[in-house]
């Protein structure tokens, strides 16, 4: 593959770059998955392995993925298959890179469906549709929206309409390109997200005490109890490997690493763009959104009205129960009546929408870059075709959501696959390129010097950490998931169909890679091997 780079689009401004990178990292997982994981895994106990994993895996991967992306971008490549070949000149490298196409495309499709819920609930908040509902009523309201096979109080076509709108917005943004589309969205969406979150945090933390029934006994609970739960560790639980696994897994979700989207964004960096400082800035922004805002919003609010035991029970129901059932119940009980409930609902689901869309447009970028650079399609044509495919495949999630169709995609592509890609890219960038070359690449144009300690971490600790995590997940979760242990019999058909569709997507992408390289050979861009 040629080492000379054709002219490619570049980021328009430093602030746009920072906000877009932060938008990629800050997603639904910051405000939905993190509170659930923290509550379910002991609150303060969870935070200790969380920050250790952030230091040993999260921050190193932020630098690695920026380095990988910029290295490829300077050679004219914006997708993982091409980038991997620029690092490792071996025929198998491009096929390993399929992971960087497969994960973002698969996750993008079902992520947009979940993203559409936030639009639907924003509209419901404006209409006051969830006001006056008790916990059972709120659960029924949510279940009715996602269970199309058993009828819905929302109107059968309502979920389809909001999904179509979400897809249309996403692919309109990416069709406009880097500066006019993605960067402009980030400049609008990220400030709104932080303003909404900050207002809600202040309102939640200024709530007083509330009566809570715990095991038949009336007691009082407050937001401070939620903060105490979050930051007071139970040291006896630190020996539980599941807590460490959950914490490390959350780092992948919270930073959006191992996906392929960050590398695609970084491919548009210039040679002298600082990736050392920007990596830290993005990580800090994300942690502010997750720990300071997400953790100080959902957990104290739910603990204040349901107590620690009630919050734990809600968390066991899943992230969606926490975000789409428990939080609207909290808003209905805020002082200020219907007006406050409406305002809080619009801000909560509005910030979730912006958190979601700034991540989903990033997921679309690797596939767009691959097709544009290898097949000569325009950005608008590529976005239109990919959007149409996402719409069609996403409809299957709407229809078969309650049959576990989405769960399969979320686990294999959105969970397990992230660790696999992260491990592969770490080995290539650190070991194949060489630790010294890696360290030099990261510091190119850097205004700060990363402590040498991190060179040791990235060379030895991070890859070992990832390998252990992958092996543990394979034993503890991947094998039982593959065998459908504890899965209801009526879901087996839909889940196997879901896996078959994922396999078809993977095989099609492998064929596209092969076709792209055949085209490169014919065009003289690649030396036949």
Q: Work out the angle at residue 365's Cα, subtended by the Cα atoms of residues 360 and 366, and round it to the nearest 5 degrees.
A: 120
Question: What confidence score (pLDDT) does residue 339 get?
Answer: 95
Question: What confidence score (pLDDT) does residue 8 get?
Answer: 78
Segment 342-370 shows an average pLDDT of: 97
Segment 250-274 shows an average pLDDT of: 92
> 526: pLDDT confidence band, cut at 50, 70 and 90?
low
**Whether residue 119 has pLDDT greater than 80:** yes
Q: Are 94 and 85 contacting, i.e. CB atoms less than 8 angstroms apart? A: yes
> 444: pLDDT confidence band, cut at 50, 70 and 90?
very high
**Whether residue 472 has pLDDT greater than 90:** no
Segment 416-444 shows an average pLDDT of: 96
**Whether residue 215 has pLDDT greater than 80:** no
Q: What percent of the chain has pLDDT over 90?
A: 74
Segment 483-491 shows an average pLDDT of: 93
Closest CA to 268 of 4, 5, 511: 5
Per mean pLDDT, which range of 247-261, 352-366, 513-527 is the poorest? Answer: 513-527
Alpha-carbon gap, residue 265 to 143, rounded angstroms? 36
**Whether residue 5 has pLDDT greater than 70:** no
497 burial via Cβ count (<10 Å: 0-12, 13-18, 19+): middle
Question: What confidence score (pLDDT) does residue 77 get?
Answer: 92
> 294: pLDDT confidence band, cut at 50, 70 and 90?
confident
**Whether residue 11 has pLDDT greater than 60:** yes
- Highest mean pLDDT of the ranges 282-286, 347-351, 474-478: 347-351
3-class DSSP assignment, residue 417: helix
Question: What confidence score (pLDDT) does residue 523 get?
Answer: 64
**Whether residue 22 has pLDDT greater than 60:** yes
**Whether residue 116 has pLDDT greater than 70:** yes
Alpha-carbon gap, residue 478 to 523, rounded angstroms? 42
Question: What confidence score (pLDDT) does residue 9 get?
Answer: 85
Give the position of tokens 């080995």: 427
Alpha carbons within 13 angstroms on the beta-carbon side of residue 74 total 13
Closest CA to 210 of 196, 220, 200: 220
Question: What confidence score (pLDDT) does residue 42 get?
Answer: 87
Sketch the domain layout of the chain as residue ranges: 14-522
Question: What confidence score (pLDDT) does residue 521 get?
Answer: 66
Q: Are 82 and 97 contacting, i.e. CB atoms less than 8 angstroms apart? A: yes
Question: What confidence score (pLDDT) does residue 96 get?
Answer: 97
Mean pLDDT, the chain, integer: 91
> 1: pLDDT confidence band, cut at 50, 70 and 90?
very low
- Which helix or strand (DSSP H or E) is residue 466 part of? helix 462-473
CA dihedral 69, 72, 73, 75 (to 10 degrees): 170
Q: pLDDT, tens digit, for every residue of 163-208?
A: 999 999 999 999 999 999 999 999 999 999 999 999 999 999 998 8
Closest CA to 26 of 289, 346, 375, 284: 289
Segment 59-78 shows an average pLDDT of: 95
Q: pLDDT, tens digit, for every residue of 298-320?
A: 999 999 999 988 888 888 888 89
Question: What confidence score (pLDDT) does residue 459 get?
Answer: 97
Alpha-carbon gap, residue 254 to 58, rounded angstroms? 9
Q: What is the pTM of this model?
A: 0.94
**Whether residue 52 has pLDDT greater than 90:** yes
Is the CATH number of domain 14-522 1.20.1270? no
**Whether residue 430 has pLDDT greater than 60:** yes
**Whether residue 4 has pLDDT greater than 60:** no
């Amino acid at each position: 593959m040629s080492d000379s780079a054709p002219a490619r689009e570049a980021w328009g401004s430093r602030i746009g770059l920072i906000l877009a990178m932060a938008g990629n990292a800050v997603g639904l997982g910051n405000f939905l998955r993190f509170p659930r994981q923290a509550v379910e895994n002991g609150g303060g106990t969870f935070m200790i392995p969380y920050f250790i994993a952030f230091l040993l895996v999260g921050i190193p991967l932020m630098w690695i993925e920026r380095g990988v992306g910029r290295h490829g971008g300077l050679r004219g490549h914006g997708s993982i298959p091409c980038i991997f070949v620029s690092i490792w000149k071996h025929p198998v490298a491009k096929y390993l890179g399929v992971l960087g196409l497969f994960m973002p495309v698969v996750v993008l499709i079902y992520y947009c469906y979940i993203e559409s819920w936030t639009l639907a609930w924003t509209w419901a908040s404006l209409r006051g549709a969830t006001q006056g509902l008790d916990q059972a009523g709120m659960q029924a309201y949510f279940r009715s929206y996602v269970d199309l096979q058993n009828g819905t109080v929302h109107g059968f076509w309502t979920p389809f309409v909001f999904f179509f709108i979400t897809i249309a917005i996403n692919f309109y943004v990416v069709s406009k390109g880097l500066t006019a589309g993605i960067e402009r969205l980030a400049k609008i969406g990220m400030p709104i997200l932080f303003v909404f979150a900050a207002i809600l945090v202040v309102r939640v933390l200024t709530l007083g005490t509330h009566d809570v029934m715990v095991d038949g006994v009336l007691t009082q609970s407050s937001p401070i109890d939620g903060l105490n739960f979050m930051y007071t560790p139970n040291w006896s639980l630190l020996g539980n490997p599941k807590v460490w696994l959950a914490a490390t897994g959350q780092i992948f979700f919270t930073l959006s690493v191992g996906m392929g989207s960050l590398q695609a964004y970084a491919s548009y960096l210039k040679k002298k763009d600082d990736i050392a400082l920007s990596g830290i800035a993005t990580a800090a922004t994300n942690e502010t959104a997750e720990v300071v805002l997400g953790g100080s919003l959902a957990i104290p609010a739910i603990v204040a009205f349901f107590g620690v035991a009630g919050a734990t029970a809600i968390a066991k129901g899943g992230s969606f129960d926490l975000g789409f059932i428990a939080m609207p119940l909290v808003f209905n009980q805020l002082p200020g009546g219907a007006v406050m409930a409406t305002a809080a609902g619009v801000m909560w689901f509005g910030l979730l929408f912006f958190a979601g869309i700034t991540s989903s447009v990033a997921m679309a970028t690797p596939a767009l870059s691959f097709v544009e650079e290898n097949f000569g399609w325009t950005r608008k044509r590529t976005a239109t075709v990919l959007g149409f495919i996402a719409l069609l495949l996403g409809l299957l999630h709407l229809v078969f959501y309650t049959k576990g169709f989405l769960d399969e995609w979320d686990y294999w592509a959105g969970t397990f696959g992230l660790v696999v890609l992260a491990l592969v890219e770490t080995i290539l960038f650190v070991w194949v390129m060489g630790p010294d070359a890696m360290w030099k690449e990261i510091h190119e144009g850097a205004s700060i010097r990363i402590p040498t300690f991190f060179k040791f971490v990235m060379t030895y600790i991070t890859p070992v950490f990832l390998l252990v995590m992958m092996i543990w997940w394979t034993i503890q979760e991947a094998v039982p998931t593959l065998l459908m242990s504890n899965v209801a019999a009526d879901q087996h058909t839909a889940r196997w169909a879901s896996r078959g569709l994922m396999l078809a997507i993977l095989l099609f992408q492998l064929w596209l890679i092969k076709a792209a390289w055949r085209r490169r050979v014919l065009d003289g861009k690649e030396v036949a091997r």
